[in-house]
Amino acid sequence: MPRTQSLPRFRLANNRYGASTSTSKPRVFLTRRLYIVLLLFMLLLAPALPVDAGESHENAYLVELINKGRQAKLASEREWHLLLHYRKDLFGGYTSEQDDPGYFMSPDGKTDPQAELDATLKQFFSDELVGRSKQPAQCAFIARYTWLKQRLAFDETRLPQLACERFERWFADFEAQSITLIFPSAFLNNPASMFGHTLLRVDQRGQTDSTRILAYTINYAADVPPDAGMAYPIRGIFGGYRGYFSTIPYYLKVQEYRDIENRDIWEYRLNFTEHQVRRFLMHAWELGNASFDYFFFKENCSYHLLALLDYADPSLHLTDEFLFWTVPADTVRLIASKPGLVSGIAYRPSRSNVIRRKRESLPSEERELAHRLTKDVGELKSSALSRLEPMRQTFVLDLASDYLRYRIDTTGEPPPELKERNRAILAARSEIRLASEEFLVEPFAKQPELGHNTSRISVGAGWRNNSTFEEQTIRAGYHDLLDPEIGYTPNAQIEIASVTMRTYNRDNQTRLERATLANVVSLSPIDSVFYAPSWKINVGVQTIKHQGCQLCSNGVMNGGIGASVESHWFAHQIFFAFAEAEANYSRAYEERHRIGGGGTVGMLSDLTEKWKLLVTGTYLRYPLGDKSDDFRWTVGQRFTLLQNLALRLEYNHRDHDNDVMVSVQMFF
Amino acid sequence: MLKKVLLLSVTVLFGMQAGLAMAANPDTGPGCGLGKLAWSDYSHQKNIGPQVLMATTNGTFGSQTFGISSGTSGCTNDGKVMAEQKTTMFAQLNFENLSQEMAQGQGEHLASLATLMGVPAEHQAAFFAMTQERYTSLVKTGEASPVAMVKAINDAIATHPVLAKISTR
């Protein structure tokens, strides 16, 4: 009879107030209204007041359990810390990463594991609805309950178990068999997305490759209002948003990433036992009660999913590996590096990559036919189409439909004729009573765990204007155009927080040679189907030689927009051109600044699988501030030695300023 | 244009409180709290600027948590699709992929729909052929109402010489 457990207590408490008020003599000056207010106030306090004799039986068992728990030191066990997301803090104590007060049964629960354990035990005797999900504690914190019940051997006659129908229904609906880590990789033309995202899919019993889209996912995301604007990155970085867990069907995530954002998806099936899957879902259910402050760099989507996996299998220790930031691709690398954890990897190409690969596989006349079909459905009746074999026709029609859907899904307000054309093509396609053949798509970027690690340290030596130098660079993240491209989006760069110290031997001077806050480049090759602009942004400090000043720090803000094309005349090249604007700040300049614009042209080329070349030339004219102009060119080469080791040879030229350097770069 | 910029800066300046208020009501579309992510504001997120911002905070849309929602139509209040709504909701949310795959006579969305409708994997080829044959009328029905399309497919299964016998639903 679980439901009656705590109700009598509340009634008892009420009765006591009833009793005390009936024996006390109402004062004359106590107006009736004040009296009621006072009564209500005391009612509010009621549950906090000491329990009376009627409950001593229950209380005795609670005291017994608390003592038993303290003796067994349960509050310092890893399991308890995982359940409550406690991390050791700077002062040797514990603080929970959980930020929702409803997650704690004790007011001190966030920082006091023992108080939280005692309070949790106490709450298990009650069917009071707690937390955001409004369930009795036994159900809201079902993983805690299950663990404590087992460790303290709850006597069911003294602490009856409540039926948790909501949880059981929710759990059963998953038909869970295993867990898959889902990693949508970067989308083209947006290097910022190289950080990626991760979510988990709860695979169903009896699921096949074609029905896995029906599975639910466990997704953790910040709740961001639709028009957050510029507040978004700032609040995202400093924990200004709340992060919540959700169970979105996988078919919607596939639509979001593959169809709308055109990102490849990698799926890593994890080797979990049935017992671990149940633990995973029990704890996920608890987190439905919870919200964390969302911190973009560390406590982000990937971090909290790792915490869930850690709970499923406490021997994994996944979250322990991340101190300052959690880059989703790093979490994939970590999981892939755990022996035996990943049982299979699946690739789900983005629609744009499907189109690219299908186009590559076609002879040019069929490629052009598909393209004409997307522009004019009159081509459906052309002999160019009808003279093809039926199977070839299906391929060309399917490609045309893919392309029209790509246009529809990536255009803000797609013109209605795109949809009409797609319908006409599909209607013609349905007349050919053949099932399309499966088309295997080779990924352009290999899976992330084959790529280099996120941070990089470089040691180099070189020569600048008659002086030799040595330099050291450390870069927090992530990838530049010359870094080994395996596992990364091709032709995209995002450098964040990089610092270079250089010692010039002639002057025996050590100085901050370069510092980069952010340096982003996106090269999107344009062809007859895909046309997006290329763009770049750079904010940082570098060292220049200008007029009388030999080594002067120079603050730079630069942004450009342009275009690029791809060619295959020797191995593989991207040619690009940008129009750009730049502002400089340095004491080398008159009025300490100059502002101007100009352009850059360049080429990025894969000479061999391991050898890459980048050549750029830039001309800028500064009509504002220090009236001057600047012509510079660079040649950089990289040779990959190992997955996390590369060699660079770089040459930079500016007006009477030459700089050559050899360096070794290690990723960690 | 100026008005738009002004409005935008006002939103940025005062958006925080408004944002909190909005966050309290995360569900605005069909599906279990999925509304926000694909259906209402998606087109705006395709511009490069917001995309960068979005991705910078790890692409964060959709915020239906289990355990708290008040239960949109077709959904349990724990963020799940109600059993009896699974097929129609799937058909509605995947209509474009389904119609493409019906014309093409195969595909994972179509196979998933067949599974939801009780057609076992070994007989799905017959299901695919049937939906391909009826593509034009099914899509026409579906554009008006996905529920009607599901019903039309069900009726077609019922009169199909093979599928009628093996469908488990």
Domain range list for chain B: 2-56, 83-166
Sign of the alpha-carbon torsion through B139, B144, B147, B151: negative
* CB crowding B118-151: b at 16 or more within 10 Å, else e: ebeeeebebbbbbbbbbbeebbebbeeebbbbbe
Phi, psi torsion values for B160, nearest 5 degrees = -80, 135
Phi, psi torsion values for A159, nearest 5 degrees = -135, 85
Select from A545, A525, A549, A523 the least CA-distant residue to A534. A523
Looking at residue B35, its pLDDT comes to 32
Residues contacting A585, CB < 8 A, separation 6+? A554, A555, A592, A593
Select from A117, A110, A106 the least CA-distant residue to A70. A117
Q: If you count them, how many residues does chain A have?
A: 668
Cα separation, B115 vs B121, whole angstroms: 7
Looking at residue A243, its pLDDT comes to 81
| A526 and A480, same domain (yes or no) | yes
Structural domain contains residue A203: yes
* CB crowding A285-315: b at 16 or more within 10 Å, else e: bbbbbbbbbbbbbbbbbbbbbbbbbbbbbee
Q: What is the mean pLDDT of chain B?
A: 65
Contact indicator for A278, A422 with CB cutoff of 8 Å: no
Tokens linked to A123: 């709450």
| A514 and A638, same domain (yes or no) | yes
Domains identified in chain A, total number: 4
Tokens linked to A154: 């709850």
Residues paired with A130 in a beta bridge: A135
Cα separation, A203 vs A181, whole angstroms: 10
| A420 and A471, same domain (yes or no) | no
Cα separation, A114 vs A106, whole angstroms: 10
Structural domain contains residue A118: no
Q: Is A638 helix (H, G, I), strand (E, B) or coil?
A: strand
The answer, yes or no, to whether residue B11 has pLDDT greater than 90, is: no
Cα separation, A312 vs A306, whole angstroms: 10
Q: Is A455 helix (H, G, I), strand (E, B) or coil?
A: coil
Q: Is the CB of B66 less than 8 angstroms away from the CB of A247?
A: yes
| A386 and A324, same domain (yes or no) | no
Q: Which residue has the tokens 């088309």?
A: A439
Nearest CA in chain A to B78: A170
Distance to chain B for A404, nearest Cα, Å: 11
Contact indicator for A493, A191 with CB cutoff of 8 Å: yes
What residues of chain A lie within 8 A of the CB of B63, using their CB? Answer: 221-223, 244, 246
Q: Which residue has the tokens 């003599």?
A: A25
Residue from A230, A380, A410 to probe the interface with B (highest B Cβ count within 10 Å)? A230
What residues of chain B lie within 8 A of the CB of A267, using their CB? Answer: none
Contact indicator for A171, B71 with CB cutoff of 8 Å: no
Select from A454, A150, A113 the least CA-distant residue to A282. A150
Looking at residue A411, its pLDDT comes to 82
Residues contacting A145, CB < 8 A, separation 6+? A124, A137, A138, A139
Q: Closest partner residue to B105 among A173, A228, A435, by Cβ? A: A435
Task: State the DSSP H helix or E strand holding residue A398, giving kind and residue range, or none if neither.
Answer: helix A390-410
| A227 and A374, same domain (yes or no) | no
Tokens linked to A273: 């036992």
- Note every long-range contact of A648-656, with CB atoms under 8 Å and residues 24 or more positions apart, other chains counting: A648/A458, A648/A460, A648/A482, A654/A544, A654/A545, A654/A630, A655/A545, A655/A630, A655/A631, A656/A465, A656/A545
Domain containing residue A18: 7-50
Nearest CA in chain A to B65: A246
Task: State the DSSP H helix or E strand holding residue A219, giving kind and residue range, or none if neither.
Answer: strand A216-222
Q: Closest partner residue to A195 among B19, B55, B108, by Cβ? A: B55
| A185 and A300, same domain (yes or no) | yes
Contact indicator for A254, A265 with CB cutoff of 8 Å: yes
Q: Is the CB of B19 less than 8 angstroms away from the CB of A225?
A: yes
What Å distances lie between residue A464 and A458, A507, A550, CA to CA? 18, 12, 11
Q: Is the CB of A435 less than 8 angstroms away from the CB of B106?
A: yes
State CA A620 to chain mean position distance: 37
Residues contacting B116, CB < 8 A, separation 6+? A214, B86, B87, B90
Select from A157, A133, A283, A161 the least CA-distant residue to A220. A283
Cα separation, A402 vs A439, whole angstroms: 13
| A404 and A457, same domain (yes or no) | no
Interface of B with A in 140-169 (CB under 8 A): none
Contact indicator for A42, A13 with CB cutoff of 8 Å: no
The answer, yes or no, to whether residue B108 has pLDDT greater than 50, is: yes
Residues contacting B146, CB < 8 A, separation 6+? B88, B91, B92, B95
State CA B160 to chain mean position distance: 28
Cα separation, A173 vs A324, whole angstroms: 37
Phi, psi torsion values for A2, nearest 5 degrees = -60, -35
ipTM for the whole predicted complex goes beyond 0.90: no
What Å distances lie between residue A35 and A18, A39, A46, CA to CA? 13, 6, 16
Distance to chain B for A641, nearest Cα, Å: 31
| A256 and A229, same domain (yes or no) | yes
Longest CA–CA separation in chain A, Å: 105
What residues of chain A lie within 8 A of the CB of B30, using their CB? Answer: none
| A182 and A323, same domain (yes or no) | yes
| A175 and A270, same domain (yes or no) | yes
| A496 and A552, same domain (yes or no) | yes
Structural domain contains residue A327: yes
Select from A573, A563, A572, A561 the least CA-distant residue to A597. A561
Residue from B44, B57, B117 to probe the interface with A (highest A Cβ count within 10 Å)? B57
Amino acid at A460: G
Q: Is the CB of A225 less than 8 angstroms away from the CB of B76?
A: no
Q: Sort strands A534-546 and A549-567 into parallel, antiparallel or unpaired.
A: antiparallel
**Residue A116, burial from CB neighbour count under 10 angstroms (0-12, 13-18, 19+):** buried
Interface of B with A in 16-55 (CB under 8 A): 16, 18-19, 22-23, 26, 31-34, 36-38, 40-44, 46-48, 51-55
Cα separation, A428 vs A373, whole angstroms: 11
Q: Is the CB of A197 less than 8 angstroms away from the CB of B58?
A: yes
**Residue B158, burial from CB neighbour count under 10 angstroms (0-12, 13-18, 19+):** exposed
The DSSP secondary-structure symbol of B100 reads: H
Those residues of chain A that have pLDDT short of 70 are 1-55, 187-193, 225-230, 232-233, 236
Residue from A247, A281, A326, A409 to probe the interface with B (highest B Cβ count within 10 Å)? A247
Cα separation, A273 vs A213, whole angstroms: 22
Cis preceding linkage at A504, omega within 30: no
Tokens linked to A231: 């507040």
Looking at residue A376, its pLDDT comes to 95
Q: Is the CB of B65 less than 8 angstroms away from the CB of A256?
A: no
Task: State the DSSP H helix or E strand holding residue A18, giving kind and residue range, or none if neither.
Answer: helix A7-23
B127 has a chain A CB within 8 A of its CB: no
**Model confidence pLDDT, tens digit, residues A143-159:** 999 999 999 999 999 99
Q: Is the CB of B105 less than 8 angstroms away from the CB of A187?
A: no
DSSP string, A337-356: HSTTTEEEEEEE--HHHHHH
Structural domain contains residue A218: yes
| A245 and A376, same domain (yes or no) | no
Cα separation, A425 vs A376, whole angstroms: 10
Question: Hey, which bits of A13-98 come out as E strands?
Answer: 86-88, 94-96
Tokens linked to B20: 């909190």
